[in-house]
Amino acid sequence: MPLNPMFKTLIEFAGRKDWAWAAAVVQVESNWNPYAMGDSGLALGLFQMHPNFMADQFREYSDRGEMLILLSHDPFAQAEAFRRFWQRNSHLQVEDRLRVYHYGPTGAEKLKDQADPDPDKYVARVKAAYLKFQEN
Protein backbone atom coordinates (compact mmCIF):
# COMPACT_ATOMS: atom_id res chain seq x y z
CA MET A 1 0.00 0.00 0.00
CA PRO A 2 1.70 3.26 -1.04
CA LEU A 3 1.92 6.05 1.50
CA ASN A 4 0.14 9.32 0.85
CA PRO A 5 2.98 11.82 0.19
CA MET A 6 1.40 14.23 2.67
CA PHE A 7 1.94 11.72 5.48
CA LYS A 8 5.20 10.17 4.29
CA THR A 9 7.45 12.56 6.23
CA LEU A 10 5.34 12.23 9.34
CA ILE A 11 5.35 8.44 9.29
CA GLU A 12 9.06 8.20 8.55
CA PHE A 13 9.65 10.53 11.48
CA ALA A 14 7.42 8.46 13.75
CA GLY A 15 8.82 5.11 12.84
CA ARG A 16 12.27 5.78 11.47
CA LYS A 17 13.44 2.22 10.87
CA ASP A 18 10.03 0.89 11.96
CA TRP A 19 8.08 3.30 9.75
CA ALA A 20 5.77 0.54 8.46
CA TRP A 21 4.58 -0.21 12.02
CA ALA A 22 3.81 3.49 12.55
CA ALA A 23 1.94 3.61 9.23
CA ALA A 24 0.00 0.45 10.09
CA VAL A 25 -1.06 1.85 13.47
CA VAL A 26 -2.29 5.06 11.82
CA GLN A 27 -4.15 3.07 9.16
CA VAL A 28 -6.00 1.03 11.79
CA GLU A 29 -6.48 3.78 14.38
CA SER A 30 -7.71 6.68 12.23
CA ASN A 31 -7.62 5.63 8.57
CA TRP A 32 -5.32 8.64 8.04
CA ASN A 33 -7.82 11.18 9.41
CA PRO A 34 -5.87 13.74 11.49
CA TYR A 35 -9.16 14.97 12.98
CA ALA A 36 -10.42 11.54 14.03
CA MET A 37 -11.93 11.23 17.48
CA GLY A 38 -12.32 7.91 19.28
CA ASP A 39 -15.61 6.49 20.48
CA SER A 40 -14.94 7.63 24.04
CA GLY A 41 -14.19 11.16 22.85
CA LEU A 42 -10.74 11.08 24.43
CA ALA A 43 -8.57 9.51 21.73
CA LEU A 44 -7.56 12.06 19.11
CA GLY A 45 -5.84 12.35 15.77
CA LEU A 46 -3.90 10.10 13.45
CA PHE A 47 -2.55 7.84 16.19
CA GLN A 48 -5.72 8.09 18.35
CA MET A 49 -3.84 9.07 21.48
CA HIS A 50 -5.39 9.77 24.86
CA PRO A 51 -4.13 12.83 26.77
CA ASN A 52 -2.80 10.53 29.53
CA PHE A 53 -0.74 8.65 26.95
CA MET A 54 0.68 11.94 25.69
CA ALA A 55 1.49 12.97 29.28
CA ASP A 56 3.36 9.70 29.80
CA GLN A 57 5.40 10.14 26.61
CA PHE A 58 6.09 13.85 27.20
CA ARG A 59 6.97 13.72 30.87
CA GLU A 60 8.89 16.98 30.53
CA TYR A 61 5.50 18.73 30.13
CA SER A 62 3.58 16.73 32.75
CA ASP A 63 2.96 19.80 34.89
CA ARG A 64 1.77 21.92 31.95
CA GLY A 65 -1.73 20.78 31.04
CA GLU A 66 -2.24 23.40 28.34
CA MET A 67 0.91 22.23 26.54
CA LEU A 68 -0.27 18.61 26.66
CA ILE A 69 -3.63 19.63 25.18
CA LEU A 70 -1.85 21.36 22.29
CA LEU A 71 0.48 18.41 21.78
CA SER A 72 -2.45 16.00 21.74
CA HIS A 73 -3.82 17.71 18.61
CA ASP A 74 -0.49 17.97 16.76
CA PRO A 75 0.21 15.12 14.28
CA PHE A 76 3.99 15.58 14.62
CA ALA A 77 3.77 15.52 18.42
CA GLN A 78 1.71 12.34 18.15
CA ALA A 79 4.35 10.88 15.83
CA GLU A 80 7.05 11.76 18.36
CA ALA A 81 4.98 10.23 21.18
CA PHE A 82 4.59 7.03 19.14
CA ARG A 83 8.34 6.96 18.43
CA ARG A 84 9.12 7.38 22.13
CA PHE A 85 6.61 4.70 23.10
CA TRP A 86 7.92 2.26 20.46
CA GLN A 87 11.53 2.85 21.54
CA ARG A 88 10.82 2.65 25.29
CA ASN A 89 9.07 -0.67 24.78
CA SER A 90 11.59 -2.18 22.39
CA HIS A 91 12.24 -4.95 24.93
CA LEU A 92 8.74 -6.29 24.18
CA GLN A 93 7.73 -8.43 21.21
CA VAL A 94 5.90 -6.41 18.54
CA GLU A 95 2.56 -8.04 19.39
CA ASP A 96 2.95 -7.09 23.05
CA ARG A 97 3.95 -3.52 22.14
CA LEU A 98 0.80 -3.22 20.04
CA ARG A 99 -1.36 -4.58 22.87
CA VAL A 100 0.15 -2.14 25.36
CA TYR A 101 -0.33 0.71 22.87
CA HIS A 102 -3.97 -0.14 22.23
CA TYR A 103 -5.19 -1.47 25.57
CA GLY A 104 -2.78 0.30 27.91
CA PRO A 105 -0.34 -1.51 30.21
CA THR A 106 -3.03 -2.67 32.65
CA GLY A 107 -5.41 -3.81 29.92
CA ALA A 108 -2.66 -5.65 28.07
CA GLU A 109 -1.60 -7.41 31.28
CA LYS A 110 -5.18 -8.55 31.95
CA LEU A 111 -5.49 -9.92 28.41
CA LYS A 112 -2.43 -12.16 28.83
CA ASP A 113 -4.38 -14.62 30.96
CA GLN A 114 -7.42 -14.75 28.67
CA ALA A 115 -8.03 -17.39 26.02
CA ASP A 116 -8.07 -14.66 23.36
CA PRO A 117 -5.36 -12.08 24.14
CA ASP A 118 -6.63 -9.88 21.28
CA PRO A 119 -10.43 -9.80 21.64
CA ASP A 120 -11.06 -7.07 19.09
CA LYS A 121 -8.37 -8.38 16.71
CA TYR A 122 -6.42 -5.12 16.95
CA VAL A 123 -3.01 -6.76 16.66
CA ALA A 124 -4.13 -8.85 13.68
CA ARG A 125 -5.48 -5.76 11.90
CA VAL A 126 -2.27 -3.79 12.49
CA LYS A 127 -0.12 -6.71 11.34
CA ALA A 128 -2.18 -7.03 8.14
CA ALA A 129 -1.75 -3.31 7.42
CA TYR A 130 1.97 -3.61 8.20
CA LEU A 131 2.39 -6.37 5.62
CA LYS A 132 0.69 -4.21 2.99
CA PHE A 133 3.06 -1.33 3.70
CA GLN A 134 6.04 -3.70 3.58
CA GLU A 135 5.07 -4.76 0.06
CA ASN A 136 5.92 -1.28 -1.25
Q: What is the CATH number of the domain that holds 120?
A: 1.10.530.10
State residue 49 phi and psi, 5-degree precision. Answer: -100, 140
CA 29 to chain centre: 7
Q: How many CB atoms lie within 10 A of CB 88?
A: 12
DSSP of 9-48, one letter per residue?
A: HHHHHHHGGGHHHHHHHHHHHHTT-TT-B-TTS--BTTTT
% of the chain exceeding 70 in pLDDT:
78
Residue 6 pLDDT more than 60?
no
The predicted pLDDT at position 1 comes to 55
3-class state of residue 87 by DSSP: helix
Tens-place pLDDT, residues 68-127: 666 677 888 888 888 889 989 999 999 999 999 998 888 888 887 787 777 779 999 999
* Residues of the domain holding 95: 5-134
- Alpha-carbon distances, residue 66 vs 69, 71, 72, 73, 83 (angstroms): 5, 9, 10, 11, 22
Indicate the number of domains in the chain: 1
pLDDT single digits (tens) 40-58: 878 889 999 888 887 787 7
